[in-house]
Amino acid sequence: MKAKIKVGIVGGTGYTGGELIRLLLHHPQTELIFATSRNHAGKKISALHTDLIGDTELCFSNEIKEEVDLLFLCLPHRQSRPWLEQHEISLSVKIIDMGNDFRLDGHFGERNFVYGMSEIYKEDIKKANEIANCGCFASGLQYGLLPLAKHQLLTEVFSTGITGSTGAGVTPKPTTHYSWRNNNVSAYKTLTHQHIDEIALNLKQLNQTEVSVHFVPWRGDFPRGIFVSSTLRCDWSLDRLITLFEDFYQTAPFVQISTEPIHMKQVVNTNKCVIQLEKNKDMLVVHTAVDNLLKGASGQAIQNMNLMFGWEETTGLNLKPLAY
């Protein structure tokens, strides 16, 4: 077996950073060399991410310890580009950015970030040195629309989606406080969510024309998971649409098409996306469920890493769902 690749994480204290550390520690082909933190340098990783007790003795560092083969950027949105401008990283080091800095424009000096949705850009990801990992809501929503876009069936889409509190990040906010969030649901960023632009860009490339996406996201009273329902007009029969989706995702190991009603616990704690289609006359509804921290973030990043280094796509990602 080939030697493990050396991996580093810039910004490992958030929810996606914690999930990424967990996945990398148990991945058969990776050795985690460091994870940085401005505020927790010197503290054991397992003291902050307490689920990792007994899994690692690594401490957070305040700087890059040594050159690695792959660097994950787990910084807040719009901080990856400034960080790269301030740090000289060898072009031999591959980069996967978890933020939104390069999803719309992947050019950065001599680097060119490929959009990290393996189900449609697999061959590009295999050859890439830089990946812009897709957003969580963008993942959940696009998986339900990409097969339709490929057949130019999209003009206008109305979507709603509910997400867990981890989607808002680890820093406490009034709308993530337990006493506010518990037994509560609310809408936010109605029709203006930051993921709409990347969704529209990718759908247009497949659909060959503009797609109007009207998206209303909701805050849910649970920690993790995303459930999206997208409604549009379509005159294809339900059986024909199911076949379309099954064919489109035939080589996608983590995407499952269900003919039974789906629910979020089928995907929480996994890298799966589960899709169900329903029709009433000419109205089609596509339901999708993903884990916002895995298929919508760190799990997708590991899947992209596997493709970049020529490993089996599912390596390190055979995870048990929460289920109950």
Catalytic residues: 136
d(CA 266, CA 70): 31
d(CA 211, CA 200): 6
The DSSP element (H or E) to which 303 belongs, if any, is: helix 299-308
Residue 120: partners with Cβ closer than 8 Å, 6 or more residues away: 146, 202, 206
Burial 72-85 (b: 16+ CB within 10 A, else e): bbbbeeeebbebbe
Cα first-last separation, the chain:
37
Q: DSSP string of 237-299?
A: -HHHHHHHHHHHTTT-TTEEEESS---GGGTTTSS-EEEEEEEETTEEEEEEEE-TTIIIIIH
For residue 79, how far is the Cα from the chain centroid? 18
d(CA 154, CA 143): 14
For residue 208, how far is the Cα from the chain centroid? 24
For residue 195, how far is the Cα from the chain centroid? 11
Query: 178 - beta bridge partners?
Result: none
Query: 255 - beta bridge partners?
Result: 273
Of 229, 225, 204, give the one whose Cα is nearest residue 214: 229
Amino acid, res. 321: P
Query: 289 - beta bridge partners?
Result: 227, 274
Residue 191 is encoded by which pair of tokens? 């029709």
For residue 205, how far is the Cα from the chain centroid? 20
